[in-house]
Amino acid sequence: MKNKTILITGGTGSFGRELTENLISNYKNIKKLIIYSRDELKQYEMSKIYPKKKYPFVRFFLGDIRDIDRLIYATQEVDYIIHAAALKQVDTAEYNPFEFVKTNIIGAQNLVQAALTNNVKKLIALSTDKAVSPINLYGATKLCSDKIFVAANNHKGSKGTSFSVVRYGNVANSRGSVIPLFKSLKSKGNFFPITDMEMTRFNITLEQSVEMVIWTIKNAKGGEVVVPKIPSLRIKDLAKAIDPQKKIKIIGIRPGEKIHEDLISSHDAINTIDIGRYYITLNPLDDKLRKYYAKNFKSKKVKNNFYYNSHENLQYLSISDIKKII
């Protein structure tokens, strides 16, 4: 990270704040760290944590990824872009599809154009398990976004931007997680609302997601989707971990919601390798990428019928494990 300029889209969100703290704590020679988001209140609050006098290299750029002109201006002389900005609420997407398309798909296209225009070295985009075999509009927009970033490597030239994707499941204690909701209901609600007693989700901590992104900055070559090996949890176990005495009410499935989630589908198995800590789904058009991982990480190809599903996952969090997380 020495003498590098880093821009984080959606930098005032849960992930952006955690990444900012990690970079400031562990890398002392960053040239500039740009927090790019459209929420001026969150930027103001974050600027109090990182005041200009103490952190002169931290900058706050107000802007929207829907605005290509602002992005091109903001990404001048930037080395790395971490793309965390997105609209994410599944049920909201079902009723506001145009807005999700503008941010998650058109915003991704704008970032590709801005990065290529300004010769950014690397762009790492955050994805979600909902982009795999999507049944909701949010997942479909993130799948399109992933495809845009992977395909961008086909047009970068020999020295252009490399584009990579990191894909993971629910982030514990983030704003989009069910954990804050259940915590709030512990003291004031009469029950925990659960869609289905069999529901499972992948679980990753903010710290793990940040470590994964930093690993990808250092190691990715462009065109790959990096997937962590993480545990699953049962939503009913989460409720018991927060309050074992509170009743559970089955409220039924919401629009666009799955009972279980996937991080890798069986259709992607043909292009997926195992490097130990992570699975990597490779760009099928890039033979050099497969050779790079074989040489440097001793990768092995997964079985042709392989898939990575939160229900079939071999690693589950117990109630005591969940208590430690929350």
Orientation angle between helical segments 178-188 and 235-242, nearest 10 degrees: 40
Nearest to 173 by CA among 290, 35, 310, 18: 18
Q: Which of 4, 88, 122, 130 is catalytic?
A: 130
Pair 59, 30: CB distance under 8 Å:
no
With vertex at residue 161, the alpha carbon angle to CA 109 and CA 209, rounded to the nearest 5 degrees, is 75
Respond yes or no: is residue 323 known to be catalytic. Answer: no
The amino acid occupying position 232 is S
Nearest to 226 by CA among 276, 286, 267, 280: 280
Q: What is the DSSP letter of 129?
A: G
Residue 140, token pair as written in the block: 């479909």
Residue 309 three-state SS: strand
- In the chain, what is the straight-line distance between the N-terminal and C-terminal CA atoms, in Å? 32
Positions marked active-site: 130
